[in-house]
Amino acid sequence: MEAFHVPVLLRETLEYLVPPGPDCLMVDATQGLAGHSTAFLDRYPGLRVLGVDADPEMQAMARERLAPYGDRVSFRRCFFDEFFGDFRADDERPGVVLFDFGVSMYHFREAKRGFSMQGEEALDMRLDPSTGRPASDLVNEMDARGLARILEDYGEEPFAWRIAQAIERERRVVPIDSARRLAELVRAAVPPKARYGRTHPATRTFQALRIAVNDELGRIARALDAAIESLAPGGVIGAISFHSLEDRIVKLAFRERAEKRARNRYRKDEAEPIPRTEGRRSLVILTPKPVEPGNDEVEANPASRSAKLRAARAAD
């Protein structure tokens, strides 16, 4: 199972997200194949982990992997914004909350739901295939203007309008229902000099559609506030982002609640906190700048190259 997904920034996540007590609860809000969960369970023998994942296939594999930990692990299959939205005052407050956004290598290599550009796979891209609309609906039904906006907003695709027009043109002939067909169509739509670079020219299109299909950014924005409110006193929260839009949402959510620290040029760490957010949890930012993987990690796992970890601790 390890071959399917290597947990990113694992050492750094363990370093920053130190549980406030020996026997607290960790919510792994994007449990995936449980790489981070396993590392926390091994390091902290009193820790319990509640794993959340929207994808039933991923959760089934996580359950299997975590079976040796017995009743130290539990699971909820839902989107993380729904999980934190349902959080009740008498629920156990987590001492650690971790988000590791996006999809895993398993989704690209094995899931056969159109995440990868290579296969003759149905263009679906839903994390939870039982709800919402597949990517093929967007691609075959949305007007070119709407498609171009998605590609621009979520993929920062410079040729968004050309690609959207090509999609509109092609689908009049035959509906676009396979990942490979969309990838080929995008390659043909971009200017010749952009067709054969280091990454496939459809990479940004696929990313944008996946984000739109799963409402990934909306879910992050909705979940973060509720997750911060759910923290146990002294609890820590961390979020690993893979592109600038995700990272920006995390940065702003943390910053909004950040305590300003009184200046103390000798002992910065012990400066008195000044609460800035009334009636809401305040945070101490643990990562003034996002933490990025070192060269060794990027070399061993190129998929980690754009990862950024931000972490914060509840001030009360």
Ligand X SMILES: C[S@@+](CC[C@H](N)C(=O)[O-])C[C@H]1O[C@@H](n2cnc3c(N)ncnc32)[C@H](O)[C@@H]1O
Residues that bind ligand X (CB under 6 A): 5, 7, 30, 32-36, 52-55, 58, 79-80, 100, 102-104, 127, 219
- Cα–Cα distance, 31 to 271 (Å, whole number): 35
CB-nearer residue toward ligand X: 95 or 238: 238
We find the least distance from the C-beta atom of residue 53 to ligand X, in angstroms, to be 5
We find the least distance from the C-beta atom of residue 304 to ligand X, in angstroms, to be 10
CB-nearer residue toward ligand X: 53 or 170: 53
Rounded to 5°, the CA angle 29-31-34 comes to 150
- Cα–Cα distance, 182 to 79 (Å, whole number): 27
Cα dist from 252 to 190, 220, 224, 248, whole Å = 34, 12, 10, 6
Task: List strands edge to edge, sheet with 283-285.
Answer: 73-77, 48-53, 25-28, 96-100, 236-241, 308-314, 283-285
We find the least distance from the C-beta atom of residue 290 to ligand X, in angstroms, to be 16
Q: Return the closest-CA partner of residue 66 out of 95, 31, 18, 101.
A: 31
> Is the CB of residue 202 less than 8 Å from the CB of residue 117?
yes
Q: How many other C-beta atoms are found inside a 10 Å radius of the C-beta of residue 116?
A: 17
We find the least distance from the C-beta atom of residue 143 to ligand X, in angstroms, to be 27
CB-nearer residue toward ligand X: 102 or 155: 102
We find the least distance from the C-beta atom of residue 1 to ligand X, in angstroms, to be 9
CB-nearer residue toward ligand X: 19 or 32: 32
We find the least distance from the C-beta atom of residue 35 to ligand X, in angstroms, to be 3
CB-nearer residue toward ligand X: 109 or 187: 109
We find the least distance from the C-beta atom of residue 160 to ligand X, in angstroms, to be 24
Written as six digits, the tokens of 17 are 């997200």
* 46 phi/psi in degrees, rounded to 5: -95, -5
Cα dist from 76 to 62, 99, 100, 134, whole Å = 11, 15, 16, 23
CB-nearer residue toward ligand X: 16 or 159: 16
Helix, coil or strand: residue 133: coil
CB-nearer residue toward ligand X: 6 or 142: 6
